[in-house]
Amino acid sequence: MKQTQRQRIINVLIENREQGLNSYFATYQMRIKQAPTRIWEIKKEGYRIITIPQKDGSVNWILEAYPPKVVKTYEFEGANAKVTEKTIRENLLN
């Protein structure tokens, strides 16, 4: 199955945590012409990405944290079911 542009960018950000992803590299090497839009979409999913301007006019995107995980728990009392969502905030990268 072919990976989406978003998934390809996320994979590069995870693999290159120190250096991140350069906008020129994403556009010309990875051939993702709308890389800034994909980064914006990824941020909306809950990933924390910082943008660092470069002297050549490009930017580096660095993944700072994964989105929080939401865990659903189910409690049953007779015929009634209660669903509780718990957010796990242990998402910072070390």
Beta strand residue intervals within 3-68, DSSP E: 21-22, 48-53, 59-65
Please state, for a pLDDT cut of 90, what percent of the chain lies above it.
Answer: 61
Q: Provide the 8-state DSSP code for 28.
A: I
**Taking the C-alpha atoms of 71, 17, 29 and 7 in order, what is their torsion angle to the nearest 10 degrees?**
0
Given a cut of 80, is residue 70 above it in pLDDT?
no
| Rounded-to-integer distance, Cα 8 and Cα 32, Å | 9
Which tokens hold the place of 45?
């999913």
User: What average pLDDT does the segment 78-84 reach?
Assistant: 63
- The pTM score is 0.71
Q: How high is the mean pLDDT of the chain? A: 84
Q: Coil, helix or strand for 38?
A: helix
How confident is the model at residue 7, as a pLDDT? Answer: 94
Terminal-residue alpha carbon distance, the chain: 31
How confident is the model at residue 84, as a pLDDT? Answer: 62
| CA separation, residue 20 to residues 8, 12, 61, 69, 92 (Å) | 13, 7, 5, 23, 16
Given a cut of 90, is residue 83 above it in pLDDT?
no
